[in-house]
Amino acid sequence: MQIVQFTFNPLQENTLVVVDANKNAVVIDPGCYFREEKEHLANFIAKNELKVLALLNTHAHLDHIMGNAFVKEEYGVDLYLHELDVPTLKMGEQSAHVYGLDQFESSPLPDKYLEEGQKLKFGDISFDVIFGPGHAPGHVAFYNEAQGILINGDILFKGSYGRVDLPGGNLEELKHSITQKLFKLPENTVVYCGHGPQTTIGAEKGSNPILW
């Protein structure tokens, strides 16, 4: 299982494409906003002859859903999101207006809902769903134990953690998600973040300011 990262849109969000050995792929949090960004993502998928099987959202904040409509239309796949983040998804157009992002395409509603403990499998790509609210009410992370990989959106960052001043944010919930769920994973787990560089659970357990 290979993970390819793109950084898109004015908010510098990390879009991930997860690929297995048979060229099956899953797109997670497509943040492609500008036409050139959508073309870049599509060209990568076409050049590598990937078959996109699903579209996953860790949560529905604007910068993580900017490419939802494009990916769904381009590849005809199901969109997965936690039900508690549907209200956030529906606020996309309003949020885009606040940021002056007039090229925003509203996301379709999810086809399938994500739940705590759910096991996802697309080709040889597999994840366990971890429910981790605090940054967003329906935030989830995707964990592959065999490869020691956690795709955690905006829950935990390298040396930081997700903001809680947006609608539905809650610092105590976020702290619980990080300390009681993510920090229970093996310390060598590689964490892919929604913004910025990767980190590991071990590195953040020792120094992350959520602990202060």
Q: What is the pLDDT along the chain (212 residues), one digit of tens a residue?
A: 999 999 999 999 999 999 999 999 999 999 999 999 999 999 999 999 999 999 999 999 999 999 999 999 999 999 999 999 999 999 999 999 999 999 999 999 999 999 999 999 999 999 999 999 999 999 999 999 999 999 999 999 999 999 999 999 999 999 999 999 999 999 999 999 999 999 999 999 999 999 99
User: What type of residue is 42?
Assistant: A
Rounded distance between C-alpha atoms, residue 141 and residue 132, angstroms: 7
* Residue 143 structure tokens: 């964990």
Which residues share a beta bridge with 156?
161
Taking the CA atoms of 92, 35, 6 and 43 in sequence, report the sign of the dihedral they define.
positive
HSE-CB at 76 with a 13 A cutoff on CA atoms is 1
Work out the burial of residue 192: count CB atoms within 10 Å of its CB; fewer than 13 is exposed, 13-18 middle, 19 or more buried: buried
SS3 195: coil
Distance from chain centroid for Cα 107: 15
Structural domains present in the chain: 2-211 (3.60.15.10)
Tell me the C-alpha distance between 101 and 187, whole Å: 39
